Amino acid sequence: MKTARIASRLLILGICISLPQAWEQLSDTQEEINMNQEQTLSQRQQAIIPVAASAAAGDLAKLKGALNQALDAGMTVNDGKEVLVQLYAYAGFPRSLNALGTFMGVLAERREQSIEDAQGDIPRTPIPQGDALLEQGTANQTELAGGPVKGPLFDFSPAVDEFLKTHLFGDIFARDNLSWQDREIATLAMLSVLAGTEPQLQAHVGIAMNTGLSAPQLQQLATVLAEQIGPEAAARTLSALTQYLNP
């Protein structure tokens, strides 16, 4: 265990050699906001990270191992379904569908091994429809973002503004069988492997912190990415965290 922790620190330090100034700023910020270094993600939350990241990257072989690891760590079947359905909002339907197909195969293999995984919760609150869905999605988006989301882009394309509000923050984030914290952990993991999504990654760092996730927990997310996905994903996440904390 001690060796694993040392290896983890060396790995994350190696990533940060390419971001020395960012890491120094992040260290300063840690002192300023008096972070509690004992704050950690649960084993289940840590296990969701490689599931979301490998699914977004389209690495189905790695996803298979990550799903087995996550189920063993307490992720329920419905937790996994929610993460992989949410994936399509960030990486598209093809990768979401392929990931769900892989999940079906993993569950079938585990049943053959007499492993019965907990099904988990289904949404408790009915999803609203029509104008009520737009209202609910707008409220969810505003709460998650810490204020109303508006700007020239949404004036330029009102359709994408409505789709974000009604579908992503309405249909998906209104499904209350997966917490907003878990959804943001999954979202950050997904965006970390998608090159060119740095603005969205930084925005979701802020949203994740608005859900109550701390900077140490997001650093831990980057460490998991470094260990199980790769240094580029971890570096993107650390850079987004640093930029958010040092605007």
- What confidence tens digit (pLDDT) does each residue in 28-44 have? 444 444 444 458 999 99
Residue 247 has a pLDDT of 82
What does the pLDDT look like over 196-213, one tens digit per residue? Answer: 999 999 999 999 999 999
CB 69 within 8 A of CB 117: no
CB 221 within 8 A of CB 49: yes
Rounded alpha-carbon distances, angstroms, from residue 139 to 2, 124, 127, 149, 181: 45, 18, 14, 10, 17
Distance CA 132, CA 189 (A): 30
- Under-50 pLDDT residues of the chain: 1-11, 13, 15-18, 20, 22-23, 25-37
Query: Domain segments of the chain: what residues?
Result: 124-176
Q: What residues contact residue 23 under an 8 Å CB cut-off, 6+ apart? A: 16, 238, 242
Residue 87 has a pLDDT of 97
Residue 38 has a pLDDT of 52
Distance CA 87, CA 84 (A): 5
148 burial type by CB count under 10 A (0-12 exposed, 13-18 middle, 19+ buried): exposed
State in Å, rounded, how far the first CA of the chain is from the last one.
Answer: 36
Residue 40 has a pLDDT of 93
What tokens were used for 239?
Answer: 């850079």
Residue 106 has a pLDDT of 98
Residue 245 has a pLDDT of 93
Residue 4 has a pLDDT of 40
Q: What is the pTM of this model?
A: 0.85
What tokens were used for 103?
Answer: 């999940």
